[in-house]
Structure 1
Amino acid sequence: TTIVAVQPKILSYTQRTKFEHAGAAGGFIDKYYFPFCRGRIFDELETDNSQYDTNMEVAWTSGAAMMVRAKEFIEIGGFDPDFFAHMEEIDWCLRAQSLGYTLMFCPESTVYHLGGGTMPYSSPFKTYLNFKNNLSMIIKNHQGWLFPLLFIRMSLDGIAAFKFLFEGKISLLWAVFKSHMSTYKNLPRNLKKRSQIKQTRKKALLNYKGSIVWGFYIMKTKNYRSLNKRRFEL
Structure 2
Amino acid sequence: MDCPNVSIIILNWNGKENTVNCLEALKLTTYSNYEIIVVDNGSTDGSVKYFKDHYPEIKLIENGSNLGFAEGNNVAIREVLKRGEIKYIALLNNDTIVEPDWLEYLVNALESDESVGSCQPKILLLNNPDTIDAIGISVNRCGAAYQEGRNEKDLGQYSKITEVFGVCAGAALYRTKMLNHTGLFDKDFFAYYEDVDLATRARLFGWKSVCVPRAVIYHIHSATLGNDSPFKKYLLERNSYYYVIKNLPPKVIMLFLISKAHSGFFTLLYLARTRNFKMIKSLVKGNLDAIGNLPLMISKRTDIQAKKLMSKENFKMWLK
- Structure 1 length as normaliser, TM-score? 0.81
Match of residue 138 from structure 1: 244
1:205 aligns with 2:312: no
Match of residue 13 from structure 1: 126
How many pairs are equivalent? 203
**What's the RMSD between the two structures over aligned residues?**
1.8
Contact 1:129 1:179 in 2 (8 A): yes
- Structure 2 length as normaliser, TM-score? 0.60
Match of residue 217 from structure 1: none
Query: Equivalents in 1 of 2:163, 2:228: separation in Å?
Result: 32
Query: Equivalents in 1 of 2:280, 2:306: separation in Å?
Result: 37
Contact 2:143 2:252 in 1 (8 A): no
1:165 aligns with 2:272: yes
* Structure 2 residue corresponding to 1:107, chosen from 199, 208, 213: 213
Deviation at 1:60, TM superposition (A): 1.6
Deviation at 1:11, TM superposition (A): 0.3
* Structure 2 residue corresponding to 1:183, chosen from 290, 294, 297: 290
Contact 1:61 1:93 in 2 (8 A): yes
Contact 1:162 1:173 in 2 (8 A): no
Match of residue 145 from structure 2: 35
Letter in 1 for 2:117: V
Query: Equivalents in 2 of 1:136, 1:190: separation in Å?
Result: 6
Letter in 2 for 1:35: A
Query: Equivalents in 2 of 1:38, 1:138: separation in Å?
Result: 18
* Structure 2 residue corresponding to 1:26, chosen from 136, 140, 144: 136
Deviation at 1:116, TM superposition (A): 1.4
Please identify which structure carries the higher strand content. Answer: 2
Q: Percentage identity across aligned positions? A: 26
> Which of structures 1 and 2 has the bigger CA Rg?
2
Contact 1:139 1:146 in 2 (8 A): no
1:122-150: CA deviation from partner (whole Å, max 9, x where unpaired): 00111111111111111001123466335
Letter in 2 for 1:3: V
Cα separation, partners in 2 of 1:147 and 1:56, compared to 1, 3 Å: closer
3-state secondary structure, aligned to 1:85: coil
Cα separation, partners in 2 of 1:194 and 1:146, compared to 1, 3 Å: farther
Query: Equivalents in 2 of 1:69, 1:19: separation in Å?
Result: 25
Tell me which stretches of 4 or more aligned residues in structure 1 moved more than 6 Å.
none
Match of residue 257 from structure 2: 151
More relative contact order, 1 or 2 (CA 8 Å, 6+ apart): 1
Deviation at 1:69, TM superposition (A): 0.8
Query: Equivalents in 2 of 1:176, 1:28: separation in Å?
Result: 23
Cα separation, partners in 2 of 1:192 and 1:6, compared to 1, 3 Å: same
Q: Which residues of structure 1 form unaligned runs of 5+?
A: 210-231
Query: Equivalents in 2 of 1:187, 1:176: separation in Å?
Result: 17
Contact 1:11 1:111 in 2 (8 A): yes
Cα separation, partners in 2 of 1:207 and 1:84, compared to 1, 3 Å: farther
Cα separation, partners in 2 of 1:122 and 1:202, compared to 1, 3 Å: same
Letter in 1 for 2:140: D
1:73-92 equivalences in 2 (<5 Å): 73-92=179-198
Per mean C-alpha deviation after superposition, the further-off stretch among 128-137 and 142-151 is 142-151
Letter in 1 for 2:159: D
Deviation at 1:101, TM superposition (A): 0.5
Deviation at 1:59, TM superposition (A): 1.0
Q: Which residues of structure 2 form unaligned runs of 5+?
A: 1-113
Match of residue 214 from structure 1: none
Letter in 1 for 2:259: R
